[in-house]
Amino acid sequence: MSDRININCGERLSIEHVERLYSEMESALTSDADVELNASAVNYCDTAGLQLVVSLRRELQKTGHDIHWTGSSDCLSETAGYLGLCSSLGLSSTQ
């Protein structure tokens, strides 16, 4: 299936926004589709936000799907890099 669900991470991929993102991601998991994440506007992220995305990716991969990044801010890439999560998030070092 080539359908994709689009999710915009907003400006903060952090604990105060995890509940909203969780709801969107949970719906995406039941849709039998890949997920396009747009994180181009993220100017703050924390481990709670990144953990949610790692969990989403792992669950998607169990069903043969994956995350596709349509945008990744420097903040997201740098924070993921510091935490050693680029591979787990599916982020390349050039994003």
pLDDT in tens, 62-84: 999 999 999 999 999 999 999 99
Residues 14 and 48: beta-carbon distance below 8 Å:
yes
Alpha helix locations (H) across 1-95? 18-29, 47-62, 74-82, 86-89
Q: Which two tokens stand for residue 29?
A: 């998991």
pLDDT in tens, 49-65: 999 999 999 999 999 99
Q: How far is CA 25 from CA 8, 21, 48, 67, 93, in A?
A: 11, 6, 14, 11, 24
Give the other-Cβ count within 10 Å of 28's Cβ.
23
pTM, two decimal places: 0.90
